[in-house]
A and B are shown apart, each in its own frame.
Chain A
């Protein structure tokens, strides 16, 4: 079983839609949870960073962590074409692990 599982998509939504991106994990030692956005041919950019369970909001982005279910989510409200990118979840305990990324396209 992989440490981190992420649906690769691709995911295609109309502009203005609410997007939900998810990852599951198996290691209960993970304490730090991150979401990265990666545009084509660019390096990953840190979007959200949370410690332990709970929600964190930043503008149109909300990150949720449910440690009891080993499940994290990233919600994007009022999605824009500029949100089209690959979104990678990442988490760490003693080591750092990436998900495989979900490709998102927001159609104008």
Chain B
């Protein structure tokens, strides 16, 4: 089945220690998104790639970076995680920015 895969499902990191979350997709979609979701809140868009074009949301902290080496993979790098970065990180894909998005299962990040 075509799908969006996120690894790891659970990640524990120390305050200030860089961490990378990964996402892969078999849907061959042009657009890949990273969202941050905290408890009882809607997903908050961090950035997205349309093909190789990177689009950063204005309020995304510089601490968050992303890489998309090819169509199938996208990475979220958190350079110096703070306690406030503990959240669920969701990867999503779509054919284009106006179309429905398909989500992965998420990576739950804990910062100690």
Binding site for B on A (CB under 8 A): 8, 31-32, 34, 36, 41-46, 49, 88, 90, 92-96, 98-101, 103
B99 near A45 with CB under 8 A, answer: no
Contact A96-B103, Cβ < 8 Å, known A88-B42, A101-B42: no
A44 near B108 with CB under 8 A, answer: no
Does more than half of chain B's interface fall in helix, strand or loop, or is it mixed? loop
Closest B residue by C-beta to A46: B100
User: Can you identify 13 A-B contacts, CB atoms within 8 angstroms?
Assistant: A8-B40, A34-B101, A41-B106, A41-B108, A42-B105, A43-B104, A43-B106, A44-B103, A49-B100, A90-B101, A94-B97, A101-B41, A103-B40
- Given the complex of chains A and B, what is the CA–CA distance between A101 and B103 in angstroms? 16
Q: Which chain A positions have C-beta within 8 A of B41?
A: 100-101
B98 near A46 with CB under 8 A, answer: no
B: interface residue count bin: 20 to 34
Would you call B16 an interface residue if the criterion is a C-beta within 8 Å of the partner chain's C-beta atoms? no
Contact A31-B42, Cβ < 8 Å, known A43-B106, A44-B103, A45-B103: no
B98 near A32 with CB under 8 A, answer: yes
Binding site for A on B (CB under 8 A): 4, 6, 40-43, 45, 88, 90, 92, 94, 97-106, 108
Closest A residue by C-beta to B41: A100
- Given the complex of chains A and B, what is the CA–CA distance between A55 and B52 in angstroms? 36
Q: Which chain B positions have C-beta within 8 A of A96?
A: 45, 94, 97-98, 101
CB distance from B29 to the nearest CB of A (A): 13
Which residue of B42, B90, B92 is within 8 Å of A100 (Cβ)? B42
B98 near A43 with CB under 8 A, answer: no
B42 near A99 with CB under 8 A, answer: yes
Q: Which chain B positions have C-beta within 8 A of A8?
A: 40
Shortest beta-carbon contacts, A-B, top 10: A43-B103, A98-B42, A92-B98, A43-B106, A100-B42, A49-B100, A43-B105, A44-B103, A34-B100, A43-B104
